[in-house]
Amino acid sequence: MFGKHKEQVSGNAMDKVVGKIGTPLERHLREIQSFRPEEIRDDGLFEAKVVKPALLAVVAATSGANKLVSGFDERFSAALRHVRDELVRIDGEQVSLADDYAERLPEVLKAGFARPVA
């Protein structure tokens, strides 16, 4: 009984967080297109160039939405790696976003936040 309720509360919190971070995250996703493919493929470079700046922007812009999710920083990193895997395209030296990334972003973020963190 409590497990189902906890799952609903957690899901509602995640919906709120994803709703709040979409706008501040948008600029960082567009910037991905200016990076070199190796900066996107390499987890360490991706973390430094994309995840950390996006995390700072999201925390500042959302007035503490990160406090709604336990382990937010690690989950955010996992979510952006999932976004990279699902919505970022690399063709030769060209980095771009999937044509439908804007429509798919909320669900991809939710799935990324739900992934286990290392």
Say what the pLDDT of residue 4 is.
45
pLDDT at 50 over 80: yes
Whether pTM exceeds 0.75: yes
Across 73-92, average pLDDT: 95
Cα three-residue angle 14-15-17, rounded to 5 degrees: 60
CA dist 90 and 98 (Å) reads 10
Say what the pLDDT of residue 5 is.
34
Average pLDDT, the chain: 86
Q: Please, which residues bridge with residue 94 across strands?
A: 91
Q: Please give the sequence-ordered ranges of beta strands (E in DSSP) within 1-118, or none if there are none.
A: 88-91, 94-97
Say what the pLDDT of residue 11 is.
59
Question: pLDDT digits over 16-27, tens only?
Answer: 888 888 878 888
Say what the pLDDT of residue 7 is.
42
pLDDT at 65 over 80: no
Does residue 49 or residue 6 have the better pLDDT?
49
pLDDT at 1 over 50: no
